């Protein structure tokens, strides 16, 4: 029987065996074509103006960014469907006052995180 979306995020075996948990979640992600890592552009804000910047030409203002609670919901749902890693990026992700809170939440829901300024 094929796995169903409700199987997402459920890892078989010892929950304290980190490798088994990762393998279980990786299998779920593979079964549904879910990426193992997601790039989260938390903000377009940045104090620099690098000529090679990949930010869009039309930048979203800080007020139109997802809120802390909206990002937490996204992180939770990503973990539930089998994503393993979140890359916090921007713009300059440290421009977000809630960055530490988001990193903590990512850890709480079982996502590995890294910062891509």
Binding stretches for ligand SF4 (CB under 6 A)? 46, 48-50, 53, 55, 90-92
Residues 47, 94: Cα–Cα separation, whole Å:
11
Count of all residues that appear for the chain in the document: 117
Q: Which is nearer to ligand SF4, 39 or 53 (CB)?
A: 53
Question: C-beta of 62: minimal distance to ligand SF4 in Å?
Answer: 14
Question: C-beta of 42: minimal distance to ligand SF4 in Å?
Answer: 11
Which DSSP string corresponds to 11-74? Answer: --S-TT-HHHHHHHHHHHHHHHT--SEEEEE-----S---TT--S-SSPPPGGGSPPHHHHHHH
Question: C-beta of 53: minimal distance to ligand SF4 in Å?
Answer: 3
DSSP three-state, residue 75: helix
Q: Which is nearer to ligand SF4, 27 or 89 (CB)?
A: 89
Q: Which is nearer to ligand SF4, 50 or 57 (CB)?
A: 50
Question: C-beta of 45: minimal distance to ligand SF4 in Å?
Answer: 9
């Amino acid at each position: 029987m094929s796995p169903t979306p409700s199987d997402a995020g459920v890892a078989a075996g010892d929950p304290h065996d980190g490798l088994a948990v990762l393998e279980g979640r990786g299998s779920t992600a593979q079964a549904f074509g879910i990426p193992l890592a997601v790039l989260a552009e938390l903000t377009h804000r940045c104090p620099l103006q690098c000529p090679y910047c990949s930010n869009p030409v039309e930048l979203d203002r800080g007020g139109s960014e997802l809120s802390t609670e909206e990002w937490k919901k996204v992180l939770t749902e990503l973990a539930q469907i089998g994503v393993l890693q979140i890359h916090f990026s921007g713009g300059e992700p440290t421009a977000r006052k809630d960055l530490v809170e988001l990193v903590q939440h990512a850890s709480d829901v079982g996502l590995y995180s890294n910062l891509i300024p």
